[in-house]
Structures are given as structure tokens and as C-alpha cells.
Amino acid sequence: MAGSGTAHLRSANDTLLRAENLVVEFPVGSTGLKVHAVSDVSIDIKEGETLGLVGESGCGKSTTGRTLMQMPRPNSGEVHFDGQELTKLGNAQLRQVRPRMQMIFQDPISSLNPRRKVSDIVAEPLRIWKRGTKEEQRELVRETLEAVGIDPDAAWNRRPHQFSGGQCQRISIARALVMDPKLIICDEPVSALDVSVQAQILNLLQDMKKRYGLTLVFIAHDLAVVKNVSDRVAVMYLGKLCEVAPPDDLYSRPAHPYTAALLSSIPVPDPSVRPREDATLGGEIPSPVAPPSGCRFRTRCPKAQDMCAQVEPKMRQIGLGHYVACHFPLEVTESKKVVPKPAAKTTSDGESKG
């Protein structure tokens, strides 16, 4: 079930990025209505960590990622990055922070200027910020292209349309890396690529994370992809967080009915394995203009009860590092709770009877 709360947040001193109670709304023309894209979302990322942000299309995960970059600024809430509160910075101050925060976009081809040469695309941030001499910029561009698996000599004077989607994504990664950022927000960086190329880009991101000491926010709708790259996974539904947990724990013991449904949708290359019927979702996704009262997932949840329509669930801990916003979490997770063992009975001479 989808709810709010900050129980899953760690100490502010231990995190590179910390967003609290983010709200992002967009007006619907002149109707006076609003799209509730992100509603009271709180997340945090430690330095060197990868946070996977997953959910169906339209759940607000990409808007959350862009809001962390202040594109757009949130209607309310706070974003702390490397000791600075971004929502209170003016445009000039925010611009000074931006080189340390970069984005990789979903469509690699359209995110690159089709009229610019690859060398100019990757070098442009260095020129804007006047980093080094022309020769130093040229050398850094060559080194970065080589690091992402692009031959600088072959690509130097070519334009994006002359490359495949996977190669364009490598160029996009090079453009993000050239400013030596601390945080990169990857907005579905492999969803537009062939499956064989997806693995190459994922491996590249992992290599670049180690080489450059990066912290990543990895946004995707494919839970199978997120599991292999994330240190922590947050699940979103209709602008709200549902569940936050380490990937192995989340995938083996989902506590949220929506998480279980997403996991059951992952294809298994075995025709004898049938999907779990209890994890199948019915109904349509509600409109973000008029989301349901209480729990936003209740209209599709097989465990929904009257309480779900009246009270919004809050994020609460149900295991080590495992948090869920649900009034009635799945029983498989309930078994993880630590139950104190009854004290052993003793005889009159003090011998334990077990």
C-alpha cells in the first residue's frame, strides 16, 4: 500500500543526498485541478551507494529524480545534497552545485544534440565552466570516451545519428562523467536499449561507479534490472513510496502486495512455472488528478479493508533495513519479526527443562 513517513530515513550525517516530504504538483490547464505527481516522498542515499527507484510507468519516479536536481523545484519539501539545502538556494547558487549532480536520460539519441560532433558534446560542460586549457579539455574528453568504451579517434568528428542506441548512451555517460560529479541520476538508462546492450550498459555503470567513486540513483520499471545494481530499493506507486529494503530481502520476502505483484510479473524462462495468482492485480490505475483516499493502492489491492480507505499507512520497520507502508503486510514478511522465546522452566534444583 502506498503511504508516507520518514521512518526509513537514516541519520542526515551519514547520507550524501536526503530528500524529505517532497511534493510535486502540476496544474491541469485552467481547470484548477492538479496532477499529484509526487506526494510526500522521502528518500536518502549514502555516498558510494546505489538507490534503485522502481514502479509502474506514471508512478512519479522520474519526476522524483528530476526534482532531486531541482528540475522542477518541488512545491514543498527539502532536498539536502552534500551539506546544502537545495530548495533554498537561488538560481546562481544552485548553478554552482549542478556540476556535482548529473543526469543520464532514458532516450540516449534524443538527449544528444544531433547537430553537434561527439567531441563537442562531451567537451561542452568543460567549456561552459572553463575547466582547464583547450588541450587539457581535449585530453580529458579522450580519456573519458575511452573509459566508457568509445574509440575517440573514430567518434571525434561524428554525430549522434551515426551511432547505435547503446553507443549513444555511452556518450551520454561520458558527458555526465566529464565534470567529475559525486551523484548521477540515471533515469531509465537501459529501457530504450536491446536486452543484449542493456547488460553492457549496466556493467559499464558499475565499472564507472567504482572507478570514479560515484553515488547513483537508478530509476527503472524493471525490477530484474534494479536488483543487480542496487544497494537499496524503493518501490513507488501513484506518487507514494510503498516499500524500502535491501534488494535481496525485497526480492525474496516482499512485504507489500504491490511489490509482490511487480516481482511476479518478471518473466521466468521456464514454461512449467506459472505466475502466482494471489499476486495478480485487478482494476485500473487511479488518476493522479484525483487519487483514492487513505491508501492509494487500495482500489487494486487484494488485501484491502475498510481501514485502508480511511487511514493512510505510514512507513514502518518490519525487518532489518526493511520498511513498508501497509496496514496489512504480507504474512511472509510477518514471519521475519523477532519473537522473544519463552523463558526456560526450571525444576526446584535449578535444572532447565527446556
In tens, the pLDDT along 281-308 reads: 777 889 999 999 999 999 998 888 999 9
Question: What pLDDT was estimated at residue 282?
Answer: 72
Q: What is d(CA 35, CA 178) in angstroms, rounded to the nearest whole number? A: 36
Over 60: is that where the pLDDT of 344 sits? Answer: no
Question: What pLDDT was estimated at residue 174?
Answer: 96
Question: What pLDDT was estimated at residue 345?
Answer: 42
- Answer left, alpha or beta for residue 174, where phi above 0 means left and psi between -120 and 50 means alpha: alpha
In tens, the pLDDT along 223-255 reads: 888 888 999 999 999 999 999 999 999 999 999
Cell of 177: 562523467
Question: What pLDDT was estimated at residue 275?
Answer: 64
Question: What pLDDT was estimated at residue 347?
Answer: 42
Question: What pLDDT was estimated at residue 280?
Answer: 65
In tens, the pLDDT along 126-163 reads: 999 999 999 999 999 999 999 999 999 999 999 999 99
In CATH, 12-82+182-200+207-334 is 3.40.50.620:
no
Q: Strand order in 232-237's β-sheet? A: 101-104, 183-187, 215-220, 50-54, 232-237, 240-245, 322-324, 316-319
Computed over every residue of the chain, the mean pLDDT equals 88
Structure-model confidence comparison of residues 266 and 187, the more confident one: 187
Q: What is d(CA 131, CA 125) in angstroms, rounded to the nearest whole number? A: 8
For the chain, the structural domain boundaries read: 12-82+182-200+207-334
Kindly report the number of other CB atoms within 10 A of residue 343's CB atom. Answer: 7
**Cβ proximity of 256 and 242 under 8 Å:** yes
Residues above pLDDT 90, as percent of the chain: 72
